[in-house]
Amino acid sequence: MVEKWHERFSPERFLRRVNIDQFIKKNEAFNESKVDTLGQPCYICKGFQGPGILLNDKSYLCKSCFEKITSITYPEKYEKLYREFIREREARNEARELLINKCLFRKASVFFKVLGLVSLLSLLIGFEYVAIPIFFGLFYLFTNTIHEKKIRRWESKYPMPEKPKLRHFHDPNAELNQNDFLVLKIFNNWPGYPPFWGYLRDFTLNRDNHRCQVSGCPSRVALQVHHKTPVSQGGEHVPSNLVTLCDFHHSLEPTEGHGRIWGKIQYRYFTMVRAHSRRNPVTPGFHYVRAHVRRLELIDESELKDIIDTYGFLCPSCENQIESFEIDRISAEVYVHCDHCQRSWIGIRKLAEETGPRLAEIFIVSKNEGQWKPNWSMLEMRSKSAFRVFYSQREKI
């Protein structure tokens, strides 16, 4: 085996596997923002040759430059390291496959394995022929063992190349050149999700400790990354413009495209009750119930305690820890009480995702304070229900 076996690998042959047309086809932003004629010069090459795409900042990118940009994953320095790693990995895999295919012991082991399986038919003639498949089986084990040892020796001599330390465009420790800043400007104004959205999403979730950033919200699952300034209004794909929200509070944002989120969560949090007749609880007879939307899985005692402990609610009057609470399931009300100043609050029992943030608006949040206020008007409009339901000493605050 030639020591510099990786020189046998052709980078051009590898790069031909990258189908640029598939990049364009799979990128929804290109289809939605495609323009046939550029209204101003291409941001990269300064040419007017169409077609192209319109970025969020109203600048243009021609098709040729778009193809180049969509193939970029990392800043130039790290992109070179990554592609070299890919080439070495592919070359090693190709060399290993070539070694296996040319190994005579592998071919012999396959040959004896086939003969051994065929010779099992001799047992139909008589059991005294059992020595034949055993003979071929032993030869198979012998040749296969030598083949595997040969592969292991080769793998120890030519280990898998180690993946280099790669940094994304938004990594604060990444080294960017002038061209990288140009590419980053395009990515930040990408119509739709940029090519490295997965990194930005993970970065935002880790920064926000995988918590919905609405204070008081207990949700730690079904998290989504929200653009504070919507993309449709020129919002950039940068960490400072991103915030982690649960699907419930994300759905309260009445920006373009968020209607589909409501369609996804309505069966999780709400159910439609059809019009029906119901027996009177006290007096004889029935009464008519109109069709309405009912909330599912209303907050319970354990969830309320977890919310109060997690966010460390303090009384707004005396600033002492809130510890006393009660849920009246008959009247469907939530009671929260301060044992020090004897003030109490009462509200309608609703979802934990609604009750927790409402409490956070009343009490002082001493722990895990979020960075986002829910847009209650979106929910009130849909549910026909007001949420300003908490009272202090039975007086509306």
Do 68 and 52 meet the contact criterion of CB atoms below 8 Å apart? Answer: no
356 part of a folded domain: yes
Share of the chain above pLDDT 70, in %: 84
Range of the domain at 322: 297-396
Domain assignment of residue 207, yes or no: no
Tell me the average pLDDT of the chain.
Answer: 82
Q: Between these two residues, 73 and 164, which has the higher pLDDT value?
A: 164
**Assigned domain for 324 exists:** yes
Greater confidence, 298 or 234?
A: 298
330 CB neighbour count, 10 Å cutoff? 5
Using the predicted structure, report yes or no on whether residue 262 has a pLDDT greater than 80. no
Q: What is the per-residue pLDDT for 29?
A: 54
382 pLDDT higher than 60: no
pLDDT at 2 over 60: no
In a domain, 262, yes or no: no
**Cα–Cα distance measured from residue 64 to residue 61, given in angstroms and rounded to the nearest whole number:** 8
Residue 387 resides in a domain: yes
- Do you find a cis peptide bond into 51, omega within 30 degrees of 0? yes
Does 123 score more than 50 pLDDT? yes
Element (H, E) at 180: helix 178-188
Query: How many domains is the chain built from?
Result: 1
Q: For the residues 300-305, what does the mean pLDDT come to?
A: 93
> Is residue 134 in some structural domain?
no
Q: Would you call 198 helix, strand, or coil by DSSP?
A: helix
> Rounded CA gap, 224 and 213, in Å?
11
Least confident of 9-18, 48-57, 62-71: 9-18
- pLDDT of 134 reads 85
pLDDT band, residue 297 (cuts 50/70/90): confident
pLDDT, greater one: 259 or 143? 143
Q: What is the pLDDT of residues 156-187, one digit of tens each?
A: 999 999 999 999 998 889 999 999 999 999 99
State yes or no: pLDDT of 254 exceeds 80. no
Tokens of 254: 């009445």
Q: What's the confidence (pLDDT) of residue 81?
A: 92
In a domain, 337, yes or no: yes
User: Residue 202 domain-assigned?
Assistant: no
Smallest Cα–Cα separation from 372: which of 194, 202, 199, 229? 229
Residue 357 to residue 310: CA distance in whole angstroms: 12
